Amino acid sequence: MLRKLCLTLRCGAYNVRQNFKGVDVRAHPFSGRLMAEDADKQEPPSLDEFSERLDRARGETDGEKPQRVSGAAWGRALRVSTDMLAGLIVGILLGLGLDRLLGTSPWLLLAGIGLGFAAGLRNIGKALKD
């Protein structure tokens, strides 16, 4: 049951992609190329076989790869600024809070600004690494 569901889901993505290319999948349920492959077979292909060939076909026609990479790059660019800012804010807030708690104003605030700045840079470093 679960396997069937998974398969359905994967077929869906494949069919949509084929539809985008202007190939009418519904006319040939198992799509033109896949159909040609088993033209010599009389029996309808089993789900396992179909899944296997679907994977192969997807490997060949993965045209959306570059798009996903550019989306990730966009996301990364947007991450950097807020990551820096958030590090600084947390550093300042921690410094202020500890100062109030321990009565050491303004030394921990100054340390917090420095460490927060470093943490912001560290965030950026991490964001650019993954």
Q: Which of 9, 35, 69, 128 binds other proteins (CB under 8 A)?
A: 9
The answer to whether residue 130 forms part of the interface with other proteins (CB under 8 A) is yes
Give 38's DSSP letter.
T
Least Å distance, CB 31 to other proteins, is: 10
For the stretch 50-57, contacts whose Cβ atoms lie closer than 8 Å and that sit 24 or more positions apart, written own/partner, are 50/7, 51/7, 51/10, 54/7, 54/10, 54/11, 54/14, 55/10, 57/14, 57/31, 57/33
Task: Report how many residues bind other proteins under the rule CB under 8 A.
Answer: 38
**Which among 92, 83, 98 is positioned nearest to 110, based on CA atoms?**
92
Query: Could you tell me if 31 and 54 are in contact, meaning their C-beta atoms sit under 8 angstroms apart?
Result: no
Q: Is 71 in the site for other proteins (CB under 8 A)?
A: yes
In the bound complex, what is the minimum distance in angstroms from residue 24's beta carbon to other proteins? Answer: 12
Is position 100 an interface residue for other proteins (rule: CB under 8 A)?
no
Among 83, 99, 108, 109, binds other proteins (CB under 8 A): 83
Does the N-terminal peptide bond of residue 106 adopt cis geometry, omega within 30 degrees of 0?
A: yes
Residues contributing to the site for other proteins (CB under 8 A): 5, 7-13, 15-16, 19, 25-26, 29, 71-72, 74-75, 78-79, 82-83, 85-87, 89-91, 94, 115-116, 118-120, 122-123, 126, 130
